[in-house]
């Protein structure tokens, strides 16, 4: 029976470990300084070297002839016994098949005995997260205060399932995924040792598909070697056939069909790959990788795209692909689900993106309804002098009068509006409340929120009659509340210059600020609906309504 590549080329020295240089250095320093923890927890994804490092640490600790780099000699009785799986002081247990508390009790009972071959007894527990709660609890006390000659080394792919009480008693090393370039180089060395050769791109595909796991990469390489011969090099096509991945040419064809919204063409390409052995979820996953690559390329150099595609189009395809992956995983008909996802993507391509829709809209104009442009008042216009259709909001207007300033007047060259802005207001009176907007600003500065709301919604401006401020309450919106009347009178006494008073006019028919804003919004809504682009959108999407109009 042939030995697999993962076992055949398992590192026997620290320097042979691939892609974990940082953690190898940590372990070497710990051995050299005699500071190796009595509890060591190695975590990481499958196949990155957790068990290998655990065995190397155990071998180095027990070795009687380590060199200056803390490498085991592989020649002493202790090293030879471990390499032959006969070491009496090093026990390796698979927690996936020994999960109970009785298995842990056997280990704890043997901890009291001194080592026979080396100077330390080492217990390696693989997949430690599979232990039961009782087994973990039984281990805690000994793990916290182990005998001087005992070391525990744990390995797990799911550290989240290990109790925090165990993690806190260990020195944790989280092994990284092996980088693709390092893994590709390692695969090349092993391939040459086996008497084969391969295209450099084939190693890159194997390294990428293994997702940073050395064992996965070697298992894939072993499968590829079985269909190859030592006379001809391994090609990318061989690797793609073994993995069931689509070729780059197929991906380019599918992407081109998508760009043209060719749904039937995409389905034809999908079935072609499906009949050649590719899994639907693999096809969609690889295509989404292509979308990501083209999105990054678009960000780096938009002009280099052929054909040119908007960035938000890639985002639409990505979102549909993400939802499609979930559908394929749950569907009993993954091929049909993939075809539906492809049709959805193609159908979406026929519609304009958000940026394209915005580009259809003409620049705004304020010349009147005949311009057909989208117009809306902005916060900048709210600070300008008001009219019947544009009246400033109190929180955006900050107008003051220079007559009552503690900081003196402004220079003669300043405009009246600049004077009113620069000088802080101390007292409101007939000279600086000349509009409903000024009255709302006074209420806002006095922090009279409820009065401000009532005035903005129900009160219209009439004007001054000598020392009396004349206002009109719109009774169509309801009678004036007594709390408002008394509160407004109190506001006048506190914040308006002495001698001024308020008088309500029941015959005037002005408009409140809220009514003016509603009238203005209706005006701009009607104006927007005259725009050809907006008419097209409303006709295409009957349920769409105009919620907000912004001047750009």
- Burial level of 18, CB count in 10 A (0-12/13-18/19+)? buried
Strand 171-174 and strand 459-465: the pairing is unpaired
Residue 233: per-residue pLDDT? 83
| Strands ordered across the beta sheet of 171-174 | 90-94, 121-126, 150-156, 39-43, 171-174
Share of the chain above pLDDT 90, in %: 32
| pLDDT above 70: residue 400 | no
CB 28 within 8 A of CB 53: no
| pLDDT above 60: residue 368 | no
* pLDDT tens per residue across span 161-171: 999 999 999 99
Higher pLDDT, 119 or 383: 119
Mean pLDDT, rounded, for 23-35: 92
Mean pLDDT, rounded, for 368-389: 36
Q: Whose CA is closest to 108, among 130, 82, 131?
A: 131
CB 206 within 8 A of CB 239: yes
pTM: 0.59
For residues 123-143, one letter each, b for 16 or more C-beta atoms within 10 angstroms of the residue's C-beta and e for the rest, the string is bbbbbbbbbeeebbebbeebb
| Strands ordered across the beta sheet of 468-473 | 459-465, 468-473, 501-504
| pLDDT above 80: residue 418 | no
- Reported confidence tier of residue 335, pLDDT bands at 50, 70, 90: very high
Chain-centre distance for alpha carbon 73: 48
What is the residue-wise DSSP string for 398-458? ----GGG-TT----TTS-HHHHHHHSPP--B-TTT--SHHHHHHHHHHTT-HHHHHHHHHH
Mean pLDDT, rounded, for 247-257: 85
CB 202 within 8 A of CB 247: no
* pLDDT tens per residue across span 12-22: 999 999 999 99
* pLDDT tens per residue across span 345-365: 999 888 888 777 777 665 444
* pLDDT tens per residue across span 119-136: 889 999 999 999 999 999
* Residues in contact with 176: Cβ distance below 8 Å, sequence separation at least 6, in sequence order: 19, 20, 22, 44, 48, 212
Classify 40 as helix, strand or coil.
strand
272-273-278 Cα angle (round to 5):
150
Tokens standing for residue 401? 């009068």
| pLDDT above 80: residue 399 | no
Distances (CA, A) of 78 to 69, 92, 227: 18, 15, 40
| pLDDT above 60: residue 11 | yes
What is the residue-wise DSSP string for 162-225? S-HHHHTTSEEEEPPPPPHHHHHHHHHHHHHHTT--B-HHHHHHHHHHTTT-HHHHHHHHHHHH
Residue 551: per-residue pLDDT? 66
Residue 373: per-residue pLDDT? 36
| pLDDT above 60: residue 366 | no
* pLDDT tens per residue across span 153-196: 999 999 999 999 999 999 999 999 999 999 999 999 999 998 88
Residue 50: per-residue pLDDT? 93
- Reported confidence tier of residue 326, pLDDT bands at 50, 70, 90: very high
* pLDDT tens per residue across span 55-95: 999 999 998 888 888 999 989 888 999 988 888 999 999 99
Alpha-carbon distance 394 to 448, whole Å? 12
- Reported confidence tier of residue 513, pLDDT bands at 50, 70, 90: confident
Mean pLDDT, rounded, for 469-493: 84
Could you tell me the domains of the chain? 5-174 (3.40.50.300), 180-243 (1.10.8.60), 248-356 (1.20.272.10), 381-398+429-515 (no CATH)
Averaged confidence pLDDT in the chain: 81
């Amino acid at each position: 029976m042939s030995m697999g590549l993962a076992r055949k080329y398992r590192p026997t020295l620290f320097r042979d470990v691939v892609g974990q240089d940082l953690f190898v250095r940590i372990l070497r320093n710990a051995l050299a300084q005699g500071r190796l923890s009595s509890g060591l927890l190695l975590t990481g994804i499958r196949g990155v070297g957790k068990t290998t490092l655990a065995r190397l640490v155990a071998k180095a600790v027990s070795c009687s002839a380590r060199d200056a780099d803390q490498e085991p000699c592989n020649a002493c009785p202790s090293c030879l016994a471990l390499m032959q799986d006969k070491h009496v002081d090093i026990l390796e247990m698979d927690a996936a098949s020994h999960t109970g508390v009785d298995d842990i009790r056997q280990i704890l009972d043997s901890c009291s005995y001194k080592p026979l071959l080396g100077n330390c007894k080492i217990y390696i527990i693989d997949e430690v997260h599979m232990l039961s709660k009782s087994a973990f609890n039984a281990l805690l006390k000994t793990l916290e205060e182990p005998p001087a000659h005992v070391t525990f080394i744990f390995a797990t792919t799911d550290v989240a399932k290990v109790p925090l009480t165990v993690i806190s008693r260990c020195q944790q090393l989280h092994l990284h995924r092996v980088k693709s370039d390092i893994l590709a180089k390692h695969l090349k060395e092993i391939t040459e040792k086996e008497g084969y050769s391969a295209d450099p791109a084939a190693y890159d595909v194997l390294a990428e598909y293994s997702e940073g796991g050395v064992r996965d990469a070697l298992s894939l390489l072993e499968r590829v070697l079985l269909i190859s011969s030592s006379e001809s090099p391994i090609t990318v096509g061989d690797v793609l056939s073994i993995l069931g991945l689509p070729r780059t040419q197929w991906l380019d064809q599918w992407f081109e069909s998508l760009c043209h919204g060719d749904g039937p063409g995409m389905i034809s390409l999908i079935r072609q790959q499906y009949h050649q052995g590719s899994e639907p979820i693999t096809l969609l996953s690889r295509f989404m990788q292509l979308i990501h690559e083209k999105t990054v390329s678009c960000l780096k150099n938009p002009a280099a795209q052929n054909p040119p595609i908007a960035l938000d189009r890639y985002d639409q395809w990505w979102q549909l692909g993400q939802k499609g992956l979930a559908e394929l995983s749950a569907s009993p008909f993954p091929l049909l689900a993939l075809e539906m996802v492809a049709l959805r993507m193609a159908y979406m391509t026929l519609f304009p993106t958000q940026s394209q829709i915005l580009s259809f809209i003409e620049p705004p104009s304020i010349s009147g309804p005949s311009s057909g442009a989208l117009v809306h008042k902005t916060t900048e216009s709210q600070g300008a002098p008001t009219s019947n259709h544009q009246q400033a909001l109190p929180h955006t207007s900050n107008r003051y009068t220079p007559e009552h300033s503690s900081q003196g007047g402004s220079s003669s060259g300043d405009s009246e509006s600049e004077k009113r802005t620069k000088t802080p207001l101390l007292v409101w009176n007939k000279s600086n409340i000349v509009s409903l907007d000024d009255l709302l600003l006074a209420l806002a500065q006095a922090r009279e929120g409820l009065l401000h709301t009532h005035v903005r919604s129900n009160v219209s401006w009439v004007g001054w009659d000598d020392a009396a401020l004349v206002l009109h309450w719109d009774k169509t919106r309801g009678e004036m509340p007594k709390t408002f009347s008394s509160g407004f009178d109190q506001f006048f006494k506190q914040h308006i210059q002495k001698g001024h008073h308020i008088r309500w006019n029941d015959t005037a028919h002005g408009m409140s600020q809220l009514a003016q804003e509603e009238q203005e919004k209706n005006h701009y809504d009607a104006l927007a609906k005259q725009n050809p682009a907006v008419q097209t959108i409303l006709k295409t999407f009957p349920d769409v309504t105009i919620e907000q109009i912004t001047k750009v």
